[in-house]
A = this chain, B = another copy of it.
Amino acid sequence: MPSLQVQLGARSYPIQIGSGILHDAQRFLPHLSAGAIAILSDDLVAPLYLPALRETLAHAQRPLVEIIVPHGEGSKSFARVEEVCGQMLAAGLGRDSTLCALGGGVIGDLGGFVAAIYQRGIPFLQIPTTLLAMVDSSVGGKTGINHPLGKNMIGAFYQPRAVIADVDTLDSLPEREFRSGLAEVIKYGLINDPGFFAWLEDHLDAILAEDSDALARIIHDSCADKAEVVARDELEGGLRAILNYGHTFGHAIEAATGYGTYLHGEAVAIGMVMAADLSRRLDLLRESEQARIFRLIQAAGLPTHAPRLPAEEYLRFMRIDKKAAGGQIRFILLRSIGESIITGDVPEAAVRQTLNAFME
């Protein structure tokens, strides 16, 4: 079973990936602190996987507290953080307890943030149950909640003790969410791993059939690629921006269409198609590589075109995107599959041409 180590000095941690490892106590016990254990999950995931995790953690023979919050983005709130901390305090959890976050991105973000601030920080284990959480939130230490005035505006950089990704939990993931997660997987190939991109082209059928080995491979390589970028830029100084490939267009699509129309990965997929097109228009990327990118995203069952709106609508959201610096819209562009650059120097006319070319 593949496992990898995220190298962050004293805060290094392993990501363990495999089929059925939710039942393997040896994956968990070495990473627990000396005290009690809290499991945080949501009302959709808990009925599916909490019984197995509870049984596995019983081998630790420590007090166990289960905290279930409603599923969905609404749980990333101050009120929910206070309530979860309250349940932990009421159960007498001390600084030597461990928090296990079992669920998708929301649970990872909320659980990581609670762990970061509970009694000034306790260890936490991340047990992601969606493809997006496995390949995105597993690496980078970003935790946080929303403020009524902005998404992900409150949070902390806080690393888990370990990530334990059991690919079997993806069985219950809706197909559309699985494909949305694939968009981020493809992104890692595009920004700095041409070999991985080629492997994805060759093994797309096995991936879409959710073959365990293929899943373990894409999760491993995605995390390794992201870890390499993050290790060089833990606190998001500069380089890490390449992880936003496809996101400048993608965020504008999400915003212009109203959040919820597209899943995040779907909007990113369209954004990646657009960013490849823009790269080609600026004579950075060859047409043949642009075509390969388009084909893989399309074959993965992801959308490639945004709804037809005046280009100005999208541009407006791109300008207020937080990545806009000094009025210039920042783009991550490709020189080739596997080689990305960050630039603010893009003629708006080219951006309009790209937008118009990829609206249906």
Q: What residues of chain A have their CB less than 8 Å away from a CB belonging to chain B?
A: 78-79, 81-82, 85-86, 89-90, 94, 113, 116-121, 142, 144, 147-150, 153-157, 235, 322
| Chain B, residue nearest A96 (CB) | B325
Task: Please give the distance in Å from A34's CB to the nearest CB on chain B.
Answer: 11
B118–A154 CB distance below 8 A: yes
Q: How far is the CA of A147 from the CA of B114 in the complex (A)?
A: 13
Alpha-carbon separation in the docked complex, A81 to B156 (Å) = 14
Residues on B with beta carbons closer than 8 Å to the beta carbon of A148: 86
Find chain B residues with CB under 8 A from A85 CB.
147, 153-154
CB-nearest residue of chain B relative to A116? B156
Bound-state CA distance A235–B113 (Å) is 18
Q: Inside 8 A of A155's CB, which chain B residues have their CB? A: 117, 119-120
Residues on B with C-beta less than 8 A from A322 are 94
Query: Beyond A78-B82, A81-B78, A82-B78, is A156–B89 a contact (Cβ under 8 Å)?
Result: no
B86 touches A119 (CB 8 A): no
- A121 contacts B153, C-beta separation under 8 Å: no
**Residue numbers in B under 8 Å from A94 (CB-CB):** 322
Q: Which residue of B lies closest to A145 (CB)?
A: B117
Count the copies: 2
In the complex, the answer to whether A144 meets B120 with C-beta atoms within 8 Å is: yes
Contact of A120 (CB < 8 Å), options: B118, B119, B142: B142
CA distance A78 to B157 in the complex (A): 19
Query: Which label, helix, strand, loop or mixed, suits the secondary structure of the A interface?
Result: mixed
Q: How far is the CB of A137 from chain B (nearest CB, A)?
A: 14
Determine if B117 and A156 form an interchain contact, defined as CB atoms under 8 angstroms apart: yes
Contact of A156 among B142, B147, B150, B156 (CB under 8 A): B156
Q: Is there contact, CB below 8 Å, between A117 and B86?
A: no
- Tell me whether A118 and B153 are in contact in the complex, defined as CB-CB below 8 angstroms, given that A78-B78, A147-B82, A148-B86 are known contacts: yes
Q: How far is the CA of A296 from the CA of B82 in the complex (A)?
A: 43
A322–B78 CA distance with the chains assembled, in angstroms: 26
The minimal Cβ–Cβ distance linking A246 to chain B, given in whole angstroms, is 22
Q: How far is the CB of A238 from chain B (nearest CB, A)?
A: 13
Residues of B within 8 A of A157 (CB): 120-121
A141: nearest chain-B partner, CB-CB: B120
Q: Nearest Cβ in chain B — how far from A161, in angstroms?
A: 14
Q: Which residues of B contact A149 (CB under 8 A)?
A: 86, 89-90
**Hey, which chain B residues are within 8 Å of A121, CB to CB?**
156-157, 235
Chain B residues closer than 8 Å to A116, beta-carbon distance = 156
State in angstroms the CA–CA spacing of A148 and B120 once bound together.
Answer: 16
- Give the most central of A90, A121, A150, A154: most B CB within 10 Å: A154
- Given A120-B144, A142-B120, answer yes or no on A153-B89 (Cβ-Cβ < 8 Å): yes
Some 28 contacts from A to B, beta carbons below 8 A apart, are A78-B78, A78-B79, A78-B81, A82-B147, A85-B147, A85-B153, A85-B154, A86-B147, A86-B148, A86-B149, A89-B150, A89-B153, A90-B149, A113-B117, A116-B156, A117-B144, A117-B155, A117-B156, A118-B153, A118-B154, A119-B154, A119-B155, A120-B144, A120-B156, A120-B157, A121-B156, A121-B157, A121-B235
Contacts of A86 in B (CB 8 A): 147-149
- In the bound complex, residues from chain B placing their C-beta under 8 Å from that of A156 are 116-117, 120-121, 156
